[in-house]
Amino acid sequence: MGTGPVRFVSWTKDDRIVLEANPSYWGGRVDFDRLVVRALPEMAPRVAALLKGEVDLITQVPPDQGERIKANASTAVAGALYGGLYVLAVNSQRPPLDNPLVKQALSLAIDREAIVKELWRGRGVVPNSMIAQGDNHFDVSLPPLAFKPAEAKDRLKKSGYKGEEIVIETTSGYMAGDKPMSEAIQAMWRLVLPALTLGAFTMASIARLTRSSVLEVLRADYIRTA
């Protein structure tokens, strides 16, 4: 932040970071004197702080809370396409996920349109690849990723899958709706593959487990290809 638009003032662990406008910034002065970034990891206190006027802006708002914020006379909700995806990253080095047919079956078993409609109340876009619509490299000519549960069962059968347990590791509260989406996908996968377990971890725990390569399916912000 030495040459950026803001400069560091103070940091209080688990509470806040205080920044101020950098008068020497080459690009011109920003439109505020001081910026306070508060740590409010739980959604309920975050929304309450906004509605009480204790904070000016919050992010990662789930649809149900968005309706509540929108109904309040002194607050509003704004949205825009984001150049990223909610991703379940598959550890392709561990069986049975080292088998392409198993991974294809899992993809075909996900009803992404239902997730956007029911969990996000239509505030989202069904992906057509690993590139999000808000990204400059998005290819509009590709069709949405298919939902074909019957074909998923057929590919799983052809894969030789013998019922090994697969564990989905997800975050809770890191991104808006992360755990509910993982739970919805778990329910869809169980229709074709019953041996599934869902676990919620802190980001620190997930980072440690990812480095040791012990996770099988991880809710993350990237895709590791086979």
How confident is the model over 121-144, as pLDDT tens digits? 888 888 898 888 878 888 999 999
Q: What percent of the chain has pLDDT over 70?
A: 83
Mean pLDDT across the stretch 35-52?
Answer: 92
Grade residue 42 by pLDDT with cuts at 50, 70 and 90. Answer: confident
Closest C-alpha to 112, from 130, 94, 99, 96: 130
CB 125 within 8 A of CB 142: no
Mean pLDDT across the stretch 2-25?
Answer: 92
Residue 89 in 3-state DSSP? strand
Distance in angstroms (rounded) separating the CA atoms of residues 62 and 43? 9
Whether 159 has a pLDDT exceeding 90, the answer reads yes
- Nearest-Å Rg of the Cα atoms of the chain is 21
Grade residue 204 by pLDDT with cuts at 50, 70 and 90. Answer: low
- Which pLDDT value is given to residue 207? 59
Task: List the domains of the chain with CATH numbers.
Answer: 6-71 (3.40.190.10), 87-220 (3.10.105.10)
Grade residue 222 by pLDDT with cuts at 50, 70 and 90. Answer: very low
Lowest mean pLDDT among 145-154, 176-185, 199-208: 199-208
Distance in angstroms (rounded) separating the CA atoms of residues 157 and 179? 29
The DSSP-derived string for 145-190 is PP--HHHHHHHHHHHT-----EEEEEESSSSTTHHHHHHHHHHHHH
Distance in angstroms (rounded) separating the CA atoms of residues 19 and 15? 14
Predicted TM-score (pTM) above 0.75 = no
Whether 209 has a pLDDT exceeding 60, the answer reads no
